[in-house]
Amino acid sequence: MEFRVTRTTTPKKRPPEAGLGFGKHFTDHMFRADYTQEQGWHDARVLPYGDLGLDPAAGVFHYGQAMFEGLKAFRGVDGKVRLFRPEMNARRMATGAPRLCMEAPGEADMVKAYHALVRVDVDWVPRGPATALYLRPTLVATEAFLGVRPATRFCFFIIASPVGSYFAGSAGLQAVKIWIEPTEVRAPRGGLGATKAGANYAASLHAAMAAKKAGFDQVLWLDGKDHEFVEEVGTMNFFVVLGQTVVTPPLSDSILPGVTRDSLLTLSRELGYKVEERPLSVKELKSAHRAGNLKEAFGVGTAAVVSPVGELAFGGEKLLINDGKPGSVAQNLYAELTAIQRAEKPDTRGWLQVVE
């Protein structure tokens, strides 16, 4: 793919870095490419941020053929801007698209597109601690028709948002209260859970709202078959520390293969923690808590990086974890990963790509 670049003639006023929040502001430009069976992927361009101009019969609006990605560009302490593991996001979209009967651009082209957009909007990459430029690559069905079958036309676009802390009003780690959801599921076995399909997020909203109403921040998702095994927390992968061991559920067709999950498993091993990827039941969490062995729990994802869990609630029962405060493993992993992302520590694993 060759990219055309059309720069805006009406740049926006950039928001102050303090209080950026998450996903509230959008940069001056976006990336877009279109797919038809005749032409393949074509018309790849960076253009001023704006409407997509889709037909109301476009497949995305009716049968939900839509998926997205999330990755970040960081401004390092040396002033250079770097993308974090962009090839993993491109691979996840490329491998998820066939499950939704969609066409994705080639992985190398998607990575090139991330670079092209960040290059044009480089002044939007914030400088402060815990800030980044969040990229949202998105793939939607654009063919206008109402028969139920896979679309034959798609649009791939990327928008970018300067972000601060995912949690309003907090610069550092804040423990959240989590409701263990007994009935609704985020993704069933054999479903879309391992893809970043918009449908998974639609499925999660109802229980998340009910949890918020009941005074919790998010829900812990259990498996869709027996409602027994832990899968994800909110929109994140789930880690616990049992005794001295970092434990997370193994990847399956109902768990998203998180880039942060993979990175923090690597860092956990390198920092000398014992790591286990294995099924984790609510029963085990409860008995570990009773035995004083449930030392920490936290969510991990691109947006929040690490989100410590201070309390897990199930029915009338409440498990207080680490006195409701962020634990040392969560804090160490957060510090290590963010130091690498900001080039405060060397990137010995080839995780970062400089945007030039």
- Distance (Å, rounded) from C-alpha 124 to C-alpha 161? 8
Which tokens belong to 70?
A: 């999330």
CB of residue 290 to ligand COI, shortest distance in Å = 31
Could you tell me which of 88, 75, 83 has the C-alpha nearest to residue 114?
83
CB of residue 205 to ligand COI, shortest distance in Å = 11
Q: Of 90 and 242, which has the nearer Cβ to ligand COI?
A: 90
Backbone angles phi, psi at 244, to 5 degrees: -105, 5
CB of residue 98 to ligand COI, shortest distance in Å = 21
Backbone angles phi, psi at 329, to 5 degrees: -65, -45
The contact set with ligand COI (CB under 6 A) reads: 70, 235-236, 301-304
Q: Of 40 and 172, which has the nearer Cβ to ligand COI?
A: 172
By CB atoms closer than 10 A (0-12, 13-18, 19+), residue 99 is middle
Is 136:70 a contact under the CB 8 Å cutoff? yes
Q: Of 151 and 208, which has the nearer Cβ to ligand COI?
A: 208
CB of residue 183 to ligand COI, shortest distance in Å = 22
Q: Of 208 and 222, which has the nearer Cβ to ligand COI?
A: 208
Q: Of 65 and 302, which has the nearer Cβ to ligand COI?
A: 302
CB of residue 13 to ligand COI, shortest distance in Å = 25
- Distance (Å, rounded) from C-alpha 1 to C-alpha 213? 47
Which tokens belong to 174?
A: 């804040």
Which tokens belong to 117?
A: 């957009």
Residue with smallest beta-carbon separation from ligand COI: 301
